Chain A
Amino acid sequence: MAVMTMVEAIRASLAAELERDERVLVLGQDVGVNGGVFRATEGLQERFGADRVVDMPLAEAVIVGSAVGLACSGLIPVAELQFLGFGSQAFHQIEGQVARMRFRSAGRYGMPMVIRAPFGGNVRTPELHSDAHEAKYAGAPGLKVVMPATAHDAKGLLTAALRDPDPVLFCEPLRGYRLIKDEVPDGDYSVPLGRARTVREGDDVVIVAYSAAVVIAEKAAERAAAEGYSVGVLDLRSLVPLDTDALREAVARAGRAIVLHEAPLTAGFGAELVATIQEEAFWSLEAPIGRVAAYDTPYPPGAVEELYVPSVERVLAAVRDVLEA
């Protein structure tokens, strides 16, 4: 066991899989000599060579689209999008090709690949670098969408994703790369896709979150505990597959729920969660489900972004609203 930052955990997983399986190949902008703009691939090209850790032209559609062909040839590509917000430049390849190639080819061409993409706010990036676009990918049948919240899970889930027969969009929280650090086991382990993590149990209300929003949820839960409330936090870990059992059980226990994410409210993944909770646990509910999300506005420039990304205070306010309902 060692304490690692999330970016170190991701790098450890990539290095281990490159070492273990010669079919694995990393490609993206600046992933080679530069080691990635966040250093997620630092040292990998030096260690595994420029044929396996490949610097690509600045062109998201062909980074993803060529990964489709690489997978058809029998390789396991790990395509890095420098930012999820620029995934829109490749959306037609991800949604229209990667996600449905297995289906389109009636099973001949599976797409064992991982698309890594940093996202999320409060790090003062320029436009489009912080957008939380996960919901539109969750609506792409054939794709799995994984959103780790800890360094432990980042390594274990990425390892699982790299060994999964289906394509995985692996979203990494920008502000968590170095701020999130926790105990990571040495050596090989994986965290199965589709199993949520109970971060803390709660009897009054459960906050359902994923990725860096889990950290906000935990802080809010602690503050609420100081006010005498028992607030649970459920980390979904992946949106597809969705752990509906864990969702049902957590809501059944608390009787109240808040869904939390960094994406705008309208058509955010929280809407899917609210709908799922009412299908799975309607009769356990003692109050309307609360939603805490970013506003229905474009992701704003840095000077106002802290007002945009859901804060501990906004989550706390929602906790009080739900408990007083």
Chain B
Amino acid sequence: MSAVRATGSAEPLRLLAPDGTVAAGQATALDDAQLLDAWRAMLQSRAVDERFFSLQRQGRLGTFSPVAGEEAAVVGSAWALDPARDWVVPQYRELPAMLRQGYTLARAVRYFRGDPAGNLMEPGVNLLPYQISLAAQIPHAVGLAWGLRHQGSDGVVCVYFGDGASSEGDAHEALNLAGVRRAPVVFVLKNNGWAISTPVRRQTAAASFAARAEGYGMPGELVDGNDLLAMHDACTRAVARARAGDGPTLIEARTYRMGPHNTSDDPTRYVDAAELEERRAADPVLRLRRHLTARGLVDAASEAELTARLKAEVDAAVAEAEAVPPPGPEAMFDHVYADAPGRMLGQRAAATGEGG
């Protein structure tokens, strides 16, 4: 597929049916090795969710937002990027995309342990830090894409945000500017149904977020966000368009947040149990497993072996992060300024006991 489907199309793009079959006539752009790599990333994300949740309950980790349910939306889009030249601008529920860009699990553990160094994206890693101020990252993505193009790069920026963040003014201002400047941005709006306890019908009266694209003079596409192949396909086309200088695309990934908003949230207060059960049946991991099983790429034994290896990797990352000495008072002061005011330096000296 190379063209954009009609903006505002009522039915989400779907290449992979819930039973794991690929619709007749639909080619899958991902080869076996890429599919298995995406599968690994999705299972890794599940392993991270599980382990981080348990660590949080043990008091070894701070607040954490699990990815569960959104793995195909995140992995499908991120796997359409070339990490060597393309950038990811995350919110906070896209760890698989960040890892693909070159962020490490050990850093993520440090981040969720409250170590300021956990938000360091190593030089050469094309990634902005976690963003907690919802939608504030979207203008950054547009400026970054504009700046890359200004300097002759053909890099593309993929920015993630949710149905809740879409209500923020920053989302509107950024989408509008991207359209005006034809900035090479792929906007991935993960509509996971919830902004903490606020359902999407209380977020917007519109039937589609993708339809907003028309108002910004860019193509929009509604995609089944639990379909790895559809997400990869839509994003690949959006990346190609952006790289060719044809401007931004808004992709609405219709998915579902299967877990809580974060470790402090109790969704049983507001999520209907029957609805959750129904949505869990559409779990993107189940769907991809059916497909890969039918293709003969995975079986129960290989999955068990892979899961065990991924869990060991997570444990190793946790051990590595926990071996790092806790940050001292200097961590509050370092990196606030490159050329710090004397007053703050005096505070630093007092707090670190280095005189002053």
Looking at A25, A64, A75, the one whose CB has the most chain B CB atoms below 10 A away is: A75
Q: B21 at the A/B interface (Cβ < 8 Å)? A: no
Q: How far is the CA of A297 from the CA of B129 in the complex (A)?
A: 40
CB pair B343 A61 closer than 8 Å = no
CB pair A68 B140 closer than 8 Å = yes
Query: Contact partner of A66 among B146, B337, B341, CB < 8 A?
Result: B146
Interface residues of A in 44-89 (CB under 8 A from B): 51, 56-57, 59, 61-62, 64-75, 77
Min distance, Cβ B343 to any Cβ of chain A, angstroms: 6
Q: B120 at the A/B interface (Cβ < 8 Å)? A: yes
Q: A310 at the A/B interface (Cβ < 8 Å)? A: no
Query: Contact partner of A57 among B122, B169, B180, B342, CB < 8 A?
Result: B180
Q: B4 at the A/B interface (Cβ < 8 Å)? A: no
CB pair B150 A97 closer than 8 Å = no
Q: B142 at the A/B interface (Cβ < 8 Å)? A: yes
Which residues in B have their C-beta under 8 angstroms from that of A240? 341
Which residues in B have their C-beta under 8 angstroms from that of A232? none
Query: Contact partner of B147 among A59, A72, A142, A166, CB < 8 A?
Result: A72
Q: A110 at the A/B interface (Cβ < 8 Å)? A: yes
Which residues in A have their C-beta under 8 angstroms from that of B89? 69
CB pair A105 B119 closer than 8 Å = yes
If A96-B133, A97-B136 touch, does A164 touch B147 (CB 8 Å cutoff)?
Answer: no
CB pair A108 B123 closer than 8 Å = yes
Q: How far is the CA of A223 from the CA of B178 in the complex (A)?
A: 55
Q: How far is the CA of A59 from the CA of B176 in the complex (A)?
A: 10
Q: How far is the CA of A173 from the CA of B194 in the complex (A)?
A: 46
Q: A268 at the A/B interface (Cβ < 8 Å)? A: no
Give the residue name and chain of the A residue nearest to B185 (CB). Answer: A69
Interface residues on A, range: 35 or more
Give the residue name and chain of the A residue nearest to B155 (CB). Answer: A73
Q: Write out, one digit per residue, whether chain B residues 162-197 have a CB within 8 A of any chain A CB (1) or not (0).
A: 000000011001101100100000000000000000
Q: B334 at the A/B interface (Cβ < 8 Å)? A: yes
Interface residues on B, range: 35 or more
Give the residue name and chain of the B residue nearest to A51 (CB). Answer: B150
Give the residue name and chain of the A residue nearest to B118 (CB). Answer: A106
Query: Contact partner of A73 among B139, B147, B180, CB < 8 A?
Result: B147
Min distance, Cβ B153 to any Cβ of chain A, angstroms: 8
Q: How far is the CA of A32 from the CA of B325 in the complex (A)?
A: 52
CB pair B334 A66 closer than 8 Å = no
Q: How far is the CA of A144 from the CA of B338 in the complex (A)?
A: 11
CB pair B144 A61 closer than 8 Å = no
CB pair B337 A62 closer than 8 Å = no
Which residues in B have their C-beta under 8 angstroms from that of A241? 341-343
Q: How far is the CA of A104 from the CA of B117 in the complex (A)?
A: 9
CB pair B142 A96 closer than 8 Å = no
Q: How far is the CA of A194 from the CA of B129 in the complex (A)?
A: 30
Q: B128 at the A/B interface (Cβ < 8 Å)? A: yes
CB pair A105 B174 closer than 8 Å = no
Query: Contact partner of B136 among A67, A93, A105, A109, CB < 8 A?
Result: A93
Which residues in B have their C-beta under 8 angstroms from that of A314? none
Q: A141 at the A/B interface (Cβ < 8 Å)? A: yes
Give the residue name and chain of the A residue nearest to B129 (CB). Answer: A105
Q: Write out, one digit per residue, whether chain B residues 268-293 have a CB within 8 A of any chain A CB (1) or not (0).
A: 00000000000000000000000000
If A242-B341, A242-B343 touch, does A73 touch B136 (CB 8 Å cutoff)?
Answer: no
Min distance, Cβ B269 to any Cβ of chain A, angstroms: 29
Query: Contact partner of B173 among A65, A68, A105, CB < 8 A?
Result: A65
Min distance, Cβ A54 to any Cβ of chain B, angstroms: 8
Which residues in B have their C-beta under 8 angstroms from that of A194? 341-342
Interface residues of A in 129-161 (CB under 8 A from B): 141-142, 144
CB pair B116 A106 closer than 8 Å = yes
Give the residue name and chain of the A residue nearest to B148 (CB). Answer: A73
Q: How far is the CA of A61 from the CA of B143 in the complex (A)?
A: 12
Min distance, Cβ A157 to any Cβ of chain B, angstroms: 14
Q: B141 at the A/B interface (Cβ < 8 Å)? A: yes
A-B contact pairs, 18 of them (CB 8 A): A51-B150, A61-B139, A61-B170, A65-B170, A72-B140, A92-B133, A93-B170, A97-B133, A106-B118, A106-B119, A106-B129, A106-B335, A107-B334, A108-B120, A142-B336, A142-B337, A242-B341, A244-B342
Please list the 7 inter-chain residue pairs (A to B) with the smallest Cβ-Cβ separation, ordered nearest first: A69-B143, A65-B139, A73-B147, A66-B143, A241-B341, A165-B338, A69-B144
- 7 new A-B contacts, CB < 8 A, other than A57-B176, A62-B174, are A66-B143, A67-B143, A72-B128, A102-B335, A105-B120, A105-B128, A108-B121
